[in-house]
Structure 1
Amino acid sequence: MRFIAVTFLSVALAACAALPGDGPGAFNISSQDIEAESNSSDYTIIKLDSSNIEAIKRYRPLSFANQFHGVGGGGSSSELGVGDVLGVGIWEATPDGLFTNSDSNSSQIPVVIDETGNIFIPYAGRVRAVGLTVEGLRQSIQKKLVGKAVEPQVLVSLREKLSKTAVVVGDVAKPGVYPLPLRNTRLLDIVANAGGSRKATYETVVTLKRGRRSGTTRLEDLIDYPENNVLISPSDNILLSHRPRTFSAFGAIKSNQLVPFKTKDMTLAEALATVGGLNDNKADAAGIFLFRYEDASLVRAVRPELAQRFASDQTVPVVYRVSLRDPGGFFLARFFEMRDKDILYVSNHPTAELGKFLQIIAPLISNVSSVQNLTD
């Protein structure tokens, strides 16, 4: 019997050392708090509490706006360019003039600025237009007609500013090339001109490409945070893409899965409910973790002591922790907003390892009992 007991103990200890795990426990991650204070840490841990939840809620994601801040003129300049469509009206003081007809003493001449930068006006010949304003071109035409037409009066109107355009493609109702008016044009203006998104706004992302600069944001962020509604510049390329939001859930929950957002907004409490809540047999209610990348400005606002560690335009891997053992944790989870590509992890309770251990040794206990009965 002593030999059997020793053998049983040896096997049990070996089984305990080989227990499978679903992921790090709450203690394992918490122990990294000390490392998070050092410059060598790869991520930052933030424990959700009443003092920082408001700062997180008030944060405005403006990295897209900062990417294009001070870059671009916001529309077309007043100078004319190749491809612009103009209307030229010429009036004379006599019914017998060069530009009069049976209906009026004027003529309306549609013109397009050609690739050489000129337009053609009868009796005035080729007139340089590129680089001039509408008023400058009007004066130039009128001077060329002096001595040919009778007291000519000229009016030039800009019909289409095709020399300065932006391209809108992707999941929009009317993709195409859109001329930019002389007034400042913002990103939402040109998206509206293209008919708007064909999908739900909260499932649509906007990518703006300007030269070597490129930035992406949610379409809704252009409305919720007006700073992101940046000015458009000539030759901008805008892509709208349907990109449904999802989060991943792992650990001691009912089932590990990739979960789509079914509504515009989802809180941490709703996310836990969506995956079926915590596993009663394994979950540590004090070990609810959420992994995401945050802008450095938010991390500095929540943890000022880390202000010198991160550049202003840097993104920082952050682990948020909340405990549902405290009733206040439920209120924090109710106000904490989930984001696209968040990773939600629920750690195992330490006693869950004992449960695994008992499952492994149950057959051994049964075998020992059988052997003992035979011996007796």
Structure 2
Amino acid sequence: MRILSVLVVAGALFGCSALPGDGPAAINITSQDVEESAKAGDYTVVVLEATNIDLVKAYRPLAFANQFHGVGSGGSSSLLGVGDTLVVTIWEASPDGLFSSGGGGSSQIPSVVDENGSIFIPYAGSVRAAGLSIEGLRQSIQKKLIGKAVEPQVLVSLKDKLSTTAVVVGDVAKPGVYPLPLRNTRLLDLVAQAGGSREATYETVVTLKRGNRAGTTRLEDLIDYPENNVLISPSDNILLSHRPRTFSAFGAVKDNQLVPFRTKTVTMAEALATVGGLRDDRADANGVFLFRYEDAALVRKLKPALDQKLSGQTAVPMVYKLSLRDPQGFFLAQNFEMRDKDIIYVSNHPTAELGKFLQIIAPLISNYSTVQRIYD
């Protein structure tokens, strides 16, 4: 009778879900009202299928590009400014002229636009340069030399546009201040000038700071999605950081841990294999979940019914559910790619609670049997 009482009490605890667990069971997550969860801002559940995996793979993450769309001039000004370095070449018709030298009939005069916005040209004096185009400065110098030089002809060449620069720092080969040429310069152009990333592109993060705006993206996303390769504006600050990608695994897997990406791409199947796969004695093969934040634009494609409810949101908590009871699930896991900071959770099978229950009552049964043998 005593052992029966122990079983009844322990069974009541077991039935009331009083036993500890690693996390929610599959039935608890799938029973959530998806629409209400999204409305409350909690999370959205999507069952992995071939169609929605294709949508995820085809999606172009352009949040970085949108952050800087229409913000900034997109390149260096064509007008000269303080700090610009120039080369002024002057020709004269007479070999005996002021600027004739070495029989070439010309002289080259290196110049820098000073803090007052001017350059100095012999016999022409101080010439205003800041705010003028190269052609405007050329005409201004030539006009001032008329009557002093013999039929002067002037050419102005821009050497370095130091009045408009951008800064590149961090994990690059050659950090520093880089002048922006007159042509439009894109983010990858400047990263290349700085010698490129010192680490693998898929482990490097680019942060662009422009005024009070800042955006971050993976370096490889500038190549994979050209729209993210935005135009650089004067005074932009660019930081490259080595940030290896990781994912976490919890629940009924053989090894709960934080796992770094070893290659550029890691599939869900590879991620599960890395942590030893599902535990045979506990795992519910129908309850494999992946947690991540997705762009609201992608969630609208996956769940069109949530379009209005996601208004104003940029990132939405998403739960992808996969069943490995169906052989098709293994093919889906092989095609679904992991991302940085993903969380994999494998729920316990309901019968696993019985195993925990038996572990709890085993000492009680053993002690009871020992006492009975003593009295017998």
The interval holding the TM-score normalised by the smaller chain is over 0.9
1:79 alignment partner in structure 2: 79
Aligned partner letter, 1:138: R
1:245 alignment partner in structure 2: 245
Aligned partner letter, 1:49: E
TM-score normalized by the length of structure 1: 0.96
Q: Distance in 2 between matches of 1:11 and 1:270?
A: 40
1:169-184 paired onto structure 2 within 5 Å:
169-184=169-184
Unaligned segments of structure 1, at least 5 residues: none
Structure 2 residue 370 is the aligned partner of structure 1 residue 370? yes
Moved more, 30-39 or 274-283: 30-39
Structure 1 11/252 Cα, relative in aligned 2: closer, same or farther at 3 Å? Answer: closer
The RMSD of aligned alpha carbons is 1.6
Aligned partner letter, 1:367: N
1:338 alignment partner in structure 2: 338
2:235 alignment partner in structure 1: 235
Q: Distance in 2 between matches of 1:47 and 1:257?
A: 25
Report the count of equivalent residues. Answer: 375
Residues 12, 361 of structure 1: 8 Å contact kept = no
Q: Cα deviation per residue 1:172-197 (whole Å; 9 max; x = unaligned)?
A: 00000000001110000000000000
Q: Distance in 2 between matches of 1:38 and 1:110?
A: 65
Structure 1 301/4 Cα, relative in aligned 2: closer, same or farther at 3 Å? Answer: closer
Q: Cα deviation per residue 1:189-233 (whole Å; 9 max; x = unaligned)?
A: 000000000011110000000001100000000001111100000
1:13 alignment partner in structure 2: 12
Q: Cα deviation per residue 1:142-168 (whole Å; 9 max; x = unaligned)?
A: 000111111110000001100000000
1:39-50 paired onto structure 2 within 5 Å:
39-50=39-50
Residues 92, 106 of structure 1: 8 Å contact kept = yes
Structure 1 230/312 Cα, relative in aligned 2: closer, same or farther at 3 Å? Answer: farther
Residues 76, 234 of structure 2: 8 Å contact kept = yes
Give the C-alpha shift of residue 104 in structure 1.
2.0
Residues 34, 44 of structure 2: 8 Å contact kept = no
Give the C-alpha shift of residue 9 in structure 1.
2.9
Identity rate, percent: 73
Moved more, 230-239 or 360-369: 360-369
TM-score normalized by the length of structure 2: 0.96
2:89 alignment partner in structure 1: 89
Moved more, 306-315 or 53-62: 306-315
Q: Distance in 1 between matches of 2:365 and 2:183?
A: 83
Moved more, 182-191 or 17-26: 17-26
Q: Distance in 2 between matches of 1:283 and 1:202?
A: 32
1:189 alignment partner, SS class: helix
1:42 alignment partner, SS class: coil
1:183-202 paired onto structure 2 within 5 Å:
183-202=183-202
Structure 1 10/132 Cα, relative in aligned 2: closer, same or farther at 3 Å? Answer: same
Residues 92, 105 of structure 1: 8 Å contact kept = yes
Q: Distance in 1 between matches of 2:275 and 2:6?
A: 42
Structure 1 249/11 Cα, relative in aligned 2: closer, same or farther at 3 Å? Answer: closer
Q: Distance in 1 between matches of 2:314 and 2:3?
A: 61
1:288 alignment partner in structure 2: 288
2:302 alignment partner in structure 1: 302
Structure 1 344/232 Cα, relative in aligned 2: closer, same or farther at 3 Å? Answer: same
1:140-155 paired onto structure 2 within 5 Å:
140-155=140-155
1:227 alignment partner, SS class: helix
Aligned partner letter, 1:293: Y
Give the C-alpha shift of residue 105 in structure 1.
1.2
Residues 37, 43 of structure 2: 8 Å contact kept = no
Q: Distance in 2 between matches of 1:41 and 1:226?
A: 32
Aligned partner letter, 1:241: S
Q: Distance in 1 between matches of 2:91 and 2:269?
A: 73
Give the C-alpha shift of residue 367 in structure 1.
2.6
Q: Cα deviation per residue 1:274-307 (whole Å; 9 max; x = unaligned)?
A: 1000011000001011111110000000100000
2:354 alignment partner, SS class: helix
Q: Distance in 1 between matches of 2:237 and 2:347?
A: 45
1:105 alignment partner in structure 2: 105
Structure 1 143/41 Cα, relative in aligned 2: closer, same or farther at 3 Å? Answer: closer
Give the C-alpha shift of residue 364 in structure 1.
1.6
Q: Distance in 1 between matches of 2:10 and 2:93?
A: 114
Give the C-alpha shift of residue 130 in structure 1.
0.5
Residues 291, 317 of structure 1: 8 Å contact kept = yes
Moved more, 45-54 or 280-289: 45-54
Q: Distance in 2 between matches of 1:319 and 1:69?
A: 30
1:350 alignment partner, SS class: coil
Give the C-alpha shift of residue 73 in structure 1.
2.3
Give the C-alpha shift of residue 351 in structure 1.
0.4
Aligned partner letter, 2:111: V
Q: Distance in 1 between matches of 2:41 and 2:123?
A: 77
2:351 alignment partner, SS class: helix
Q: Cα deviation per residue 1:71-98 (whole Å; 9 max; x = unaligned)?
A: 2222111100000000001111111111
Aligned partner letter, 2:276: G
Q: Distance in 1 between matches of 2:359 and 2:52?
A: 42
2:102 alignment partner, SS class: coil
Aligned partner letter, 1:351: T
Give the C-alpha shift of residue 370 in structure 1.
3.3
Q: Cα deviation per residue 1:13-45 (whole Å; 9 max; x = unaligned)?
A: 347654111111101111113454662241111
